[in-house]
Amino acid sequence: MQIIRRVSALRTAVAALKTGDKSIALVPTMGALHAGHLALVAAGKDRADHVVASIFVNPKQFGPNEDLDRYPRRETEDVAALEAAGCAIAWLPDATEMYPPCFVTSIGVGGATTILEGAARPGHFDGVATVVAKLFNQVRPDIALFGEKDYQQLAVVRRMAADLNFGIDIVGVPTVRDPDGLALSSRNVYLSAEQRRQALALPQALHDAAAALRRGASARTALAAASNAIVEGGFDSVDYVALHDAETLAPLETLSTPARLLAAARIGGTRLIDNLAVLPD
Ligand code: AMP
């Protein structure tokens, strides 16, 4: 596996990988890799000849009071994990390589970027779209893999790739969870043992809300119960628990189309997100 830190070297290395019409899969990450990230690499290996994985903690997608400075950074372990997973290239630009001092461009996707995560984290999706567009242009992959764990991000990237004619197939990969149901997240390392136990209230509340919706409960009732259960389970606050159309992300009052339950809640200083598919009968 090649470890590359400069765009110029990346272009040469990717061009060599593409020789003979070989296909490339891109897996963008912010590092502190876990089995969820490695599931994206595995899905990339299944679908393309070579996988390029990027690790870049993107300052543009963090708000002023968020965890950019304390976000876990574990480059040595991450590189070893990517190599063991069979990646061809680990793309590790630093912030100056990604955003030279003269950099001024921002990509705003519009649409569903102002609700849910976009409402709780203003500017977040502009930062995501800008860095993902740059990664797409740097690597020019055939496909790119994103986790359903960040369901709204997946939707925003799909929209951007289609709207801007990137010609890249965006593949969503199901959320990888610990055996007890908690979604794997690089931010789980912030949790104390007690908070880790309490964090289960989040997937449990989504699971229970999905069951209630399938039994015919209104979204209002099911979502209010889920929000209460998350707080009773030990979370300090709930940013949102919501039911949205699985494709357009339009808010839903009833389970009338394939839908997604999405939630964000805070425990201690940690903000966790999760989501679940809910299908009407
Ligand atoms: P991150 O490093 O948190 O920016 O995540 C990089 C990619 O991995 C994103 O596409 C995430 O949606 C995906 N990802 C993160 N956690 C999981 C998980 N538990 N299961 C599947 N994909 C995940």
pLDDT tens for 47-96 read: 999 999 999 999 999 999 999 999 999 999 999 999 999 999 999 999 99
Give the burial class of 66: count Cβ atoms within 10 A of its Cβ; 0-12 exposed, 13-18 middle, 19 or more buried: middle
218 C-alpha to center of ligand 1: Å? Answer: 31
Beta-carbon contacts of residue 159 (< 8 Å; ≥ 6 apart): 109, 111, 112
How many other CB atoms sit within 10 Å of the CB of residue 193?
7
Q: Work out the angle at residue 222's Cα, subtended by the Cα atoms of residues 221 and 228, and round it to the nearest 5 degrees.
A: 90
Active site residue 244: no
Distance 20 CA to ligand 1 centre (A): 31
Each residue's pLDDT tens digit, 161-182: 999 999 999 999 999 999 999 9
C-alpha distances (whole Å) from 6 to each of 9, 98, 206 are 5, 9, 42
- For residue 281, which of 223, 221, 207, 211 has the smallest C-alpha distance? 211
Count of CB atoms situated within 10 Å of the CB of 215: 9
Q: What digits encode the pLDDT tens for the residues 192-250?
A: 999 999 999 999 999 999 999 999 999 999 999 999 999 999 999 999 999 999 999 99
Q: Cα separation of 80 and 90, whole Å?
A: 10
Domains along the sequence of the chain with CATH:
2-173 (3.40.50.620), 186-276 (3.30.1300.10)
Residues written for the chain: 281
The CB of 42 under 6 Å from ligand 1? The reply is no
Q: What is the CA radius of gyration of the chain?
A: 19
147 lines ligand 1 (CB under 6 A): yes
Tell me phi and psi for residue 28, to 5 degrees: -80, 135
93 CB less than 6 Å from ligand 1? Answer: no
